[in-house]
Amino acid sequence: MGKYIVRRLLQMIPVVLGSTFLIYAMVFAMPGDPTAGKCGERACPPAYVKEFREKYNLDDPLPVQYGKYMGNVLQGDLGENQYGIPVAEDLRDRFGVTGKLASMALVFQSVVGILAGILAGLRKGGFIDNLVIVSTLFVISIPIFVSGFVLQYFFGLELGWFPVLVGADATFYRLLLPAMVLGSLSLAYIARLMRTNIAENLGSDYVRTAKAKGLSNRRIIGIHTLRNSLIPVITFLGYDFGALLGGSIVTEGIFNILGVGGYVFTSIGNRDGIAVVGAVTVLVLVYLIVNLIVDLLYGVLDPRISHD
């Protein structure tokens, strides 16, 4: 197990370095002018351009620039947004809200998705199975920003069940509808994955053995089948966390949630490149860390993985 953790950590290093370099290169090494649009309609005065280039080390060779940038990121310095406020400071206040929203969505999608998947998989071809298959197909094909606005319109504006916008006071109740919207897409995938796994495992040899031993149905499904079927779902949750964070940009924009995603959303609208890149870099880093944790967890859950 220890060996496995060390190996995974070592494998992680080049990916983190590479992907942050890629993000940096996309923003600062592109042939465009990074100060374009910063001074309104006019071109920026040379003094400003000079200061900007100096501040972000744009006259150094690219690897040096990147090294300095990463050094700053590691010290918690993500540059300043167009109002001169450090991006890291902005993000610090917003992380709690996004964390809350993401974990609510995560709980919602895993609980409902796994339950729906179990019910569908136990009776393949039955009514619930068909219902799950058809409804998940619809959920998958409707983009999250459409479903977000539609639900906001009906439940928030027409019926008044939920607040239309979340705003500064992000309570559990206020985040409920956004969290369901955010979790809906992954919910559909989880339900489908769980359904396939359950159905596949029910036909496997160990289930037949358990039946032959005379175990109760409850034990066969509750202990044996369920545990084995959950492993791929957990891997999926890790892989899908990126989509969840990406979705939070859209959801937080729609419901005016003052989290990291909402920050990216407004910064795109303001054409504030530094703020966008800083926030997205942080989101990618969070995604990589979550993936690493899931990978390690996977080694614990499935002993076959860590012993090779």
SS3 category, 86:
strand
Q: Which stretch binds another protein (CB under 8 A): 9-17, 75-83, 88-96, 217-225?
A: 9-17
8 Å CB contact between 306 and 299:
yes
User: How is 119-188 classified by DSSP, letter by letter?
Assistant: HHHHTTTSHHHHHHHHHHHHHHHS-HHHHHHHHIIIIIIIS-SS-S--BT---HHHHHHHHHHHHHHHHH
**Considering the rule CB under 8 A, would residue 27 count as an interface residue with another protein?**
yes
Site string for another protein, 205-244 (x = CB under 8 A): -------------------------------------xx-
- Of the candidates 1, 6, 9, 36, which one interacts with another protein according to CB under 8 A? 36
Q: Which residue number, 9 or 111, has a Cβ lying nearer to another protein?
A: 9
Q: Rounded distance, CA 242 to CA 286, Å?
A: 9
Q: Which residue number, 233 or 264, has a Cβ lying nearer to another protein?
A: 264
Q: Rounded distance, CA 79 to CA 277, Å?
A: 10
8 Å CB contact between 261 and 286:
no
| Residues between 138 and 177 that touch another protein (CB under 8 A) | 138, 140-146, 149-150, 153, 157, 164
**Contact residues for another protein, defined by CB under 8 A:** 14-16, 18-19, 22-23, 26-27, 30-34, 36-37, 124-125, 137-138, 140-146, 149-150, 153, 157, 164, 196, 200, 242-243, 245-247, 249-250, 253, 264-265, 268-269, 271, 273, 276-277, 280, 283-284, 287-288, 291
